[in-house]
Structure formats: C-alpha cells, structure tokens
Amino acid sequence: MRQAKDIVFTHLMPVRRVAEDSLLHAVAGRSDSLRQLASMIESTAARAPRSRLIAGTAIFVLTLVAGLLYVKWMPYYAKTFLAFSHHSIGPSVVSGTTATPPAVGWQAALQYAMTYYNLIWQALVLALILGATIQVLVPRRWIHRLFGRSDYRSVAIAGALSLGGMM
C-alpha cells in the first residue's frame, strides 16, 4: 500500500499542476499499474457538463448578491439617512447609549461580545453559506484561474471583489 502512495505522490502530483495534459498522456511510458491508476482517476473525475458548472456559479453569485443586499447593503443604506439627519449612526457598540464606556472587567467583555454577536450573526451565517456554496458549486479550476496567480492582477481582482462585503 505504501508503494502505491509513493507512486501517486511522486508521479501523479506534478500532473495536477499541468491542467491541460490528461493523466493518461502524462503517464505514457510508465508502468501498466500506473496507467491503470491514471485511467481510473480520469474516469471518476470526468468533468461535469458546462451548463451545470455555469448554473452552479450563477447560484453562487445570486446567493452572494442577495445575501449581501440583505445583510450588508440595505442596513447601511438605511443608516446613511440616520447619519444625515442626526449626524450619528446610532449607539456605540462599546458604551451603548451612555457617554462613558463601562468599567474594564469580565462583565463588560461579556456584554461587548454579546452585543457584537447580535450585530454580526447574520453576516456570519452568510459567510458560512457562501463558503459552502463556492466550495460545492463553483469549479475549483475557475477559482484557481482567477485568483491562483502570484501577480498583481489576481490580487487586484480579489481586492475589488472583497469591497462589496466590507463594513
């Protein structure tokens, strides 16, 4: 069993880096058992139909936009009118409606943690849903193609896409 793992890691792992080459082509000329293993891996990892991949990505994008609209954008849109009229965005998370912060201690820490959790729980749930959705519905090779490079383009795209979820 150990020998099979060594074959896979030494011979097949570099193949994953070359997305265009098929496993069968990459292991051509190697042992018969390695070719059979590559054939099994390739047959079980057959690509899903393109329409299914596009539909999964569309579901992710729809979930992203609807979730951010409900959790982030609409509440802050409503707070802009409050800020214009009262020159304040509401009570402080730390001190509430009082002018001074509470005394340092476990009670203040627990009160702050509960207040903060009550403010962000919807965003936390949305983040978990989006993480699961992108992992299940969006093809990994699309994500790697968009963000997997070590150049400024990938960093700029990631930064621009993250702006919509910022507070």
d(CA 90, CA 92): 7
Minimum mean pLDDT range among 20-34, 63-77, 93-107, 126-140: 20-34
In order, the DSSP letters of 101-157 are PPPSSHHHHHHHHHHHHHHHHHHHHHHHHHHHHHHHHS-HHHHHHHH-SSSHHHHHH
- Would you state the pLDDT for residue 88? 80
C-alpha 12/C-alpha 75 separation (Å) is: 50
pTM over 0.75: no
129 has a pLDDT exceeding 80: yes
Closest to 19 (Cα-Cα) out of 104, 132, 140: 140
Is the pLDDT assigned to residue 8 strictly greater than 60?
no
CB atoms within 10 A of CB 133: 19
Whether residue 39 contacts residue 21, with contact meaning beta carbons closer than 8 Å, is answered with: no
80-120 residue pLDDT tens: 888 888 888 777 778 777 778 888 899 988 988 998 999 89
Distance CA 137, CA 145 (A): 16
**Which of 44-48, 145-149, 158-162 shows the lowest mean pLDDT across its residues?**
44-48
Q: Is the pLDDT assigned to residue 37 strictly greater than 70?
A: no
Residue 25 has pLDDT above 70, yes or no: no
Mean per-residue pLDDT, 51-69 = 91
User: What's the pLDDT at 61?
Assistant: 92
Q: Residue 47: helix, strand or coil by DSSP? A: coil
Name the helix (H) or strand (E) containing 26: helix 23-26
* Domains in the chain: boundaries: 2-44, 50-165
Q: Average pLDDT, stretch 3-18?
A: 47
Q: Can you tell me the mean pLDDT for 51-68? A: 91
For position 131, what pLDDT does the model report?
A: 93
